[in-house]
Structure 1
Amino acid sequence: MQISLYNKLEDIPIDKEQWRKLLARNTTRSVFQSYAWTHNWWEQFGNNYTLFFLVAQNNDGQVSGLAPLMLDESRTLRFIADKNSDYLDFIIPDDRSEILSAFFKKIREQQHDWLMIELNNIRRCSDLLDHVKRICNSSNMYFWRNGTIDAPSLIIDGNEKHTERLLKKYSTRRAEKQFSRQGEISFTVFRSREQAAPYWKAFFTQHIDRCGSVNRGSSFIQPAFRRFARELFEQTLEEHTVHFSVLELNGKPIAFHYGFISENRLVWYKPCFDTKIKKGSPGLLLIKRLIEHCVDNKLQELDFTIGAEAFKDRFCSIRRRVDSARIYKSRTRYFTECILHMMWDAVKHTLRKLFPGTNQRKADSTRN
């Protein structure tokens, strides 16, 4: 087996179809691990990072594993696009223990390049962090599982009666009736560049306004992220990877959703609605339409992804767990950051007791 480190994405010895086949056999197979996502994101944002992409090849030269990593300006080694991705992992369908050990041997050989490794948003169905912890214990590195986030989801397949009850709830039906009295409601999933083209500006503006209304920054403030979202949609039309849809009232957009179709599920990513609407709940009606879309297209679930916002409680039927970990080569830094983290947790716990109103659930504001 050969492990190679690449600093240029175009030099990696795997094409789009080979990547797709390798990912299809992996334990985790999210859109955030795909060829299109990785290459499009790197094209827009790669100038701010140093590529640290590891490739495993067997004795026949075939690619058997991918570790899509990058170095940030603080010399932290992390997944490519981790600030914008909800589910991440290495792509190693077979011989995971052996290949992961070889990857981390290569990483240790390059330890002059990095100060810390940060692996974010690993689904519990992956065994990655268990392997990494074992490797750290035997190689003088220090492993810390430093965070866990809820990822709520509505399971539809096999849960049809529950889904039907959700759609018939009074609050859900009321949202539709309020807008029906005002005119014609339409819901459209865009299938072509031409169909979507007139709506991009309205979508970006609406998302920025919506995030601003709750004191969050929208990713779409960045021109590069606007280009990334649009090009990802246009380049994956044949695969139907991106789900870009609009909810309109009398021909005027009142809500949008930019998400993905991945693993036979609809993945929630960038929703928004018109904050100027004072009567009715366009966000609630948007979710109703998305659930109906899942039912009509026989999708297994509506995956609300990371962040346990209160509105998700109204619809989710399961909560998955998504973990993050840090790996240190310095014992001093490891213990220092662990102690500071525990102290901060204690402060937050005290504040929540003193000021119950601040006990808000963690939202996915890092990727708005």
Structure 2
Amino acid sequence: MELTRITSLDQLDQYRDDWSLILEENHNTNPFIEFVWVYEWLKHVGDEYDMEIMLVKQDGRPIGFIPFIHKKRWFCHTYTFMAFGHANYMDFVVYNYLLDDVIEFVFDEMIKVRRNVVFYLHGLLESGKTPKSLELYLQKRKFVFSSHRVVTPYINLKDVIIEEYMNKRKRLHGLDRREKRLRKNGNVKFLRVGPEEMELVFQLRDKLWKKKRDTSGFSKDKEKAFYLSLAGVRNGPMQTELDALYINDTMIAFHYGFRCRGRLLVYVLAYDLDFEIFGPGRILEKEKILQCKTDNINIFDFSIGYEPYKFEWNTDEDYTRKMIFSSNTSKANGIRRFLTLKESLIERMKRNYSFVLFIRNTIGKLLFIFRNLFRKAESKAIKEEIMAYLTSVKEYVFERKRYIVYKLDGKEILNLSGSKSFIELSINDAINSFDIANNHMKEICRKIYGGFKGFYPAGILSFENIFWINEKMLRIDHIAYHEDFRGKCVYIDNWNNVTLRDICTFVQQHCKAKTIYVTIKGNSKKDIAALKELGFTFSKQIVKRTYFGVSKYYVTE
């Protein structure tokens, strides 16, 4: 065997066919080691690194490639697999039947040339051959090594009866209910989209992670160019699949993944935070699983990580390893011990999902505030975050909120011919209103999901002018109180004194309600006087008291 180092893209491109032939014969399902993925990464991102791809030849014929990145630090040489932080899996590109021999030859040669050397290899799937072959080599040479694991959930679609599988999961987190309510409010479509939609994809991803700690770099300039180039790969053994969920013509979720010889890998999944209440990410993932089953995909791979949604969908688990070892010199051993300690701490932290959320969300919000403290464009968002935090602390320690419920029984309020006309608010109306779409969309979605219908005066659409009716329950969102109706009743929310008479007339006509309920917060004399003038009478008082996170409701009839 002979060993050659490939250090440039031009050199690498000469071996495109040899690289691909090895993976074809191995029936490779790891998209990250396919030539097109590696080549595009090196082209767009790899210029920051010192590339050293080890080429192994036997009798002049290429039999293996090891995609390394080389660094020299602390008077020691460090070799890692390329694309760390981008490629969730990595491996040697070597004919399976020669793997043991190639591993022994390559590492013996590298350690012989560079005495102080450390290897830090990520992304080795335990279901593959490489971890076992590498362990055998290390034990044979009596090298000290450490191995660190992260769970890798997946669905074995080959053995799944899709109807039974979906029936067990469609009610998780009210998925079935959420999807029905979303479809009720617009034309919901699951579509395969192309690179031309990538700008929307980046915007959606940025919106979701704006106030979170994001380590993926998906939307950074170099990474953008890289992922955009991959989005156009639609032929060959590795293909990029970009799917999106739309309501009418608005994208509210996307799935960016890779297909490779019967495996579909979920790489990036994001949704519009404004529509979060409807669970668009879960709806999209459900549709994608159904599509993969139809397309005869065997493995639906959620990739590495302990996110709870993965364990709600998966049927099986694999594990992905990082293996750290070094030559037997004091310098190399010292660096290996340091890297091992660091990786052990990271491994423990990632297993504690509450800690992961704290770093991602709480620390992410703090970083967002500090980064944008003196930027006028984000001053409103920063103020909202600070006020929300102070309010949550105050309400946790002590909170007292009081609402009075008034009702109107079986009366005609006005002659209907003189009342104003109101138009029912649709999701499309809200999306097409600049102010609502940018400032109030999340609240609109929460109201609609909560069973409310919104109405606004004809020709005057603004968030302040929308009143809400609920024909199923008395629902006071500010104190999380609800009470189901019996009979023909309706609850009106966000009314005002000026239009209350017209609203009540409209509601009686539109809903044919026998009883109308409204609420006022506190004890506003002006509101009470307006209600009594129309014939409303006191129904009940609801008080919510909270002491150090423990809440109680007091209802007085």
| TM-score range relative to shorter protein | 0.7 to 0.9
Residue 230 of structure 1, CA deviation: 1.1
Deviation at 1:347? 9.3
Aligned partner of 2:23 in structure 1 is 23
Q: Given that residues 211 and 218 in structure 1 are in contact (C-alpha distance below 8 angstroms), is that contact kept between their aligned partners in structure 2?
A: no
Amino acid at match of 1:210: L
The answer (yes or no) to whether the contact 2:122–2:322 under 8 Å persists in 1 is: yes
Displacement of 1:300 in angstroms is: 1.5
Alpha-carbon distance in structure 2 between the residues aligned to 1:103 and 1:31: 24
Aligned to 1:157: 158
Equivalent residue, structure 2, for 1:109: 112
SS at match of 1:164: helix
Q: Which amino acid aligns with 1:185?
A: V
Gaps of 5+ in 2: 361-557
Q: Deviations over 1:191-210 (max 9, x none)?
A: xxxx531x211100111221
Which residue in the other structure is 2:554 paired with?
none
Look up the match of 1:366.
none
Task: Confirm whether residue 212 of structure 1 aligns to residue 210 of structure 2.
Answer: yes
Aligned to 2:6: 6
Mapped partners of 1:232, 1:325: distance in 2 = 28
Shift of the 20–341 alpha-carbon distance from structure 1 to 2, 3 Å rule, reads closer
Q: Classify 1:13/1:297 alpha carbon distance in 2 versus 1 (closer, same or farther; 3 Å).
A: closer
State the Cα distance separating 1:133 from its structure 2 match.
3.2
CA offset at residue 51 of structure 1?
1.2
How far off its partner does 1:220 sit?
Answer: 2.6
**Equivalent-residue separation in structure 2 for 1:15 and 1:140 (angstroms):** 34
How far residue 157 of structure 1 moved from its aligned partner, in angstroms, is 1.4
When structure 1 is superposed on structure 2, of 80-89 and 130-139 the one drifting more is 130-139
Pairing 1:62–2:99 present: no
TM normalised by structure 2 equals 0.58
Structure 1 CA distance for aligned equivalents of residues 260 and 343 of structure 2: 35
Q: Secondary structure at the match of 1:215?
A: coil
How far apart in 1 are the matches of 2:88 and 2:216? 16
Counterpart for residue 328 of structure 1:
326
Contact 1:310 1:361 in 2 (8 A): no
Residue 53 of structure 1: CA displacement?
A: 0.8
- 8 Å Cα contact 1:308/1:361 also seen in 2: no
Q: CA deviation at 1:359?
A: 7.8
Structure 1 residue 38: deviation in Å? 0.5
Secondary structure (helix, strand or coil) at the match of 1:83 reads coil
Give the letter for the 2:159 counterpart: G
CA distance in 2, matches of 1:227, 1:70: 21
SS at match of 1:294: helix
Match of 1:286 among 271, 284, 287: 284
Instruction: Tell which deviates more after alignment, 237-246 or 312-321.
Output: 237-246
Q: 1:265 to 1:136 in 2, by over 3 A?
A: closer
Identity, % of aligned positions: 17
Task: Give the residue type in structure 2 aligned to 1:9.
Answer: L
Aligned CA RMSD, in angstroms, stands at 3.0
Shift of 1:107: 1.6
Question: Is 1:119 the counterpart of 2:117 in the alignment?
Answer: no
Structure 1 residue 341: deviation in Å? 6.4
C-alpha distance 9-182 of structure 1, shift in aligned 2 (>3 A)? same
Q: CA deviation at 1:137?
A: 4.1
Q: Which has the higher strand share?
A: 2
SS at match of 1:84: coil
Quote how far apart the aligned CAs of 1:139 are. Answer: 4.3
Within 5 Å, which residues of 2 pair with 1:340-359? 344=345, 358=355
Distance 1:213 1:63, change over 3 A: same
- In the superposition, relative to structure 1, how do residues 226 and 105 fare at CA in structure 2: closer, same or farther (>3 Å)? same
Q: Which residue of 2 aligns with 1:313?
A: 311
Tell which structure's C-alpha radius of gyration is larger: 2
1:73–1:187 CA distance, 2 compared to 1 (3 A): farther
Alignment partner for residue 80 of structure 1, among 74, 82, 89? 82
Tell me what 2:35 maps to. Answer: 35
| Alpha-carbon distance in 1 for matches of 2:94, 2:354 | 44
CA distance in 1, matches of 2:216, 2:274: 17
Q: State which of 176, 179, 184 in structure 2 corresponds to 1:176.
A: 179
Q: Who is 1:132 aligned against?
A: 134
Q: Output the CA distance in 2 between the equivalents of 1:288 and 1:340.
A: 37
Measured after TM superposition, the shift of residue 282 of structure 1 is 0.7
Unaligned ranges ≥5, structure 1: 364-368
Q: Distance in 2 between matches of 1:318 and 1:294?
A: 17
Q: Which amino acid aligns with 2:180?
A: K
Tell me the residue number matched to 1:276.
Answer: 274
Distance 1:340 1:246 in 2: 38
Alpha-carbon separation, structure 1, partners of 2:86 and 2:67: 14
State the Cα deviation string for residues 288-314 of structure 1 (Å, max 9, x = none). Answer: 111111122121132101012011111
Cα shift at 1:164: 3.3
Shift of 1:333: 3.6
SS at match of 1:221: coil
Structure 2 vs 1, CA of residues 160 and 72 (structure 1 numbering), >3 Å: closer, same or farther?
Answer: farther
Q: Which amino acid aligns with 1:6?
A: I
Choose the corresponding residue for 2:92, options 83, 90, 95.
Answer: 90
- Taking the aligned partners of 2:324 and 2:108, their CA distance within structure 1 comes to 17
Determine if contact 2:195/2:231 at 8 Å carries over to the other structure: no
Aligned partner letter, 1:165: N
State which drifts further: 119-128 or 31-40. Answer: 119-128
Letter in structure 2 aligned against 1:83 = G
Counterpart position of 2:102:
99
Deviates more, 1:71-80 or 1:269-278: 71-80
Q: Cα offset for 1:14?
A: 4.8
Cα displacement string for residues 151-174 of structure 1 (whole angstroms, at most 9, x for unaligned residues): 111122121154232464362322
Identify the residue that residue 196 of structure 1 maps to in structure 2.
195
Q: Is the 8 A contact 1:27 1:125 kept in 2?
A: no
Contact 1:3 1:55 in 2 (8 A): yes
